[in-house]
Amino acid sequence: MATLIFNGSLTQFTNGQTECEVHAKNIKSLLGEIREKFPRLSPLIESEGFAIAIDGEIFQDIWFAPISDSSEVHLIPPIGGG
């Protein structure tokens, strides 16, 4: 199973959990699994436009990017600036 890492402020929506194992084989199924495991993250995922890093490569809006059993996956919230 792949490892999903929650960085920084995201842990407030995961009850302090910083990582978990996921069965997802692509980003689309990963988002569904996150919604199921961490329902408090669901509104953020749908409205904020998160990016996802799989093994160090950042993906955004690529629903079928593959996730292997040995992958390390990071959920990256949008970065504000001005």
- pLDDT (average), residues 39-64: 86
Over 90: is that where the pLDDT of 55 sits? Answer: yes
Say what percent of the chain tops pLDDT 90: 65
What does the domain layout of the chain look like in residue ranges? 2-76
CATH class of 2-76: alpha beta
Say what percent of the chain tops pLDDT 70: 95
- State the first-to-last Cα distance of the chain, in angstroms, to the nearest integer: 39
